């Protein structure tokens, strides 16, 4: 009996050892089986740095919006270079006064003084030619502004262009649809080719490019800003280079010591006829005589 009990004890001990070995073997096997379960589809990898670029653009557009809120007016003498469809370059000195949202005054200078004076405010525009003593009134629109100031834009858009602001129709509060790099300039695009694309370019934290492209791929206008200076804590461009392919024209302005946010009375944008001036009305770009004061 003692021998039998001893044998049974040895058998039970062997069974326990084998059981423990099996458990130790099954546990890692079960872990391996778990990790080999099939996984679901993984999301596509983002373009390296793309989200970071979008975040950077949002910061830049927020700063641009803040800059816009800080600007009210500008006064400056400027050197203007205009190139038309004949590719001839017209160079002249101008005095510019702009006040947001849509007030504009342009004095085109000649060696003999003021050659032309234009003032727009709200829906009305007036032009005075001292050499002819001719006074004209008309609608403040892109057609009239292009004819006399070489900028084919509505006055409010021209004011934004001259002050280095994003155009009114640019939804800079939206997230950019794409971000690209153009020779070191970060360019954010809004919209699609089928509906038209609007682009803003930034260089060294400043607005460097505004481009509006129609659905067919035709560029409506492209404006480049450069030579920024700190004026009272506000970065302001001294060079505005605007191209208008549809009008086949190009305008480059170089500002000379601009003053921003200075006091500008409303009377600056109101012109009155000089004594004896021939007064005319502009209708569809063609003037016709209203009266002739003697």
Band the pLDDT of 282: cuts 50, 70, 90.
confident
pLDDT in the model for residue 16: 55
pLDDT in the model for residue 4: 52
Please compute the mean of the pLDDT values over residues 150-179 and round it to a whole number.
88
| Longest CA span, the chain | 150
Give, as one character, the DSSP assignment of residue 184: T
Whether the Cβ atoms of residue 268 and residue 125 lie closer than 8 Å to each other: no
pLDDT in the model for residue 34: 42
Band the pLDDT of 37: cuts 50, 70, 90.
very low
Q: Is pLDDT above 50 for 115? A: yes
Q: Is pLDDT above 70 for 10? A: no
Band the pLDDT of 9: cuts 50, 70, 90.
low
Among residues of the chain, what percentage have pLDDT more than 90? 54
Among residues of the chain, what percentage have pLDDT more than 70? 79
Question: Which H or E run includes 259?
Answer: strand 249-260
Q: Is pLDDT above 60 for 165? A: yes
Please tell me the pTM assigned to this model.
0.77
pLDDT in the model for residue 80: 95
The structural domains of the chain, ordered by start, are 50-292 (2.50.20.10)
Whether the Cβ atoms of residue 161 and residue 242 lie closer than 8 Å to each other: yes
Band the pLDDT of 94: cuts 50, 70, 90.
very high
pLDDT in the model for residue 82: 93
Between strands 134-139 and 278-283, the pairing is: parallel
Q: At what angle do helices 142-149 and 155-163 cross, to 10 degrees?
A: 50
Q: Distance of CA 272 to CAs 119, 128, 132, Å? A: 10, 9, 15
């Amino acid at each position: 009996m003692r021998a039998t009990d001893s044998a049974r004890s040895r058998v039970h001990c062997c069974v326990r050892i084998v059981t423990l070995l099996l458990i130790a073997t099954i546990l890692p096997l079960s872990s391996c089986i778990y990790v080999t379960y099939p996984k679901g589809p993984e999301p596509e990898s983002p373009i390296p740095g793309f989200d970071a670029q979008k975040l950077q653009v949002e910061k830049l557009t927020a700063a641009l919006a803040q800059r816009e809120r800080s600007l009210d007016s500008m006064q400056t003498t400027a050197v203007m270079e205009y190139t038309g469809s004949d590719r001839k370059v017209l160079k002249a000195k101008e005095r510019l006064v702009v006040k947001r949202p849509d007030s504009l005054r342009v004095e085109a200078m000649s060696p003999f003084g003021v050659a032309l004076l234009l003032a727009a405010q709200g829906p009305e525009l007036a032009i005075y030619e001292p050499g002819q003593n001719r006074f004209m009134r008309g609608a403040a629109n892109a057609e009239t502004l292009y004819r006399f100031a070489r900028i084919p834009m509505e006055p409010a858009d021209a004011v934004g262009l001259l002050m280095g602001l994003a155009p009114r129709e640019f939804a800079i509060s939206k997230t950019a649809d794409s971000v690209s790099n153009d020779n070191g300039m970060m360019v954010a695009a809004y919209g699609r080719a089928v509906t038209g694309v609007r682009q803003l370019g930034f260089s060294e934290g400043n607005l460097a490019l505004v481009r509006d492209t129609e659905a067919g791929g035709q560029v409506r206008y492209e404006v480049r800003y450069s030579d920024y200076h700190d004026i009272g804590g506000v970065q302001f461009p001294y060079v505005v280079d605007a191209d208008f392919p549809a009008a086949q024209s190009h305008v480059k302005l170089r500002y000379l010591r601009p003053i921003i946010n200075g006091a500008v009375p409303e009377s600056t944008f109101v012109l009155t006829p000089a004594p004896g001036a021939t007064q005319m009305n502009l209708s569809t770009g063609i003037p016709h005589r209203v009266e002739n004061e003697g």
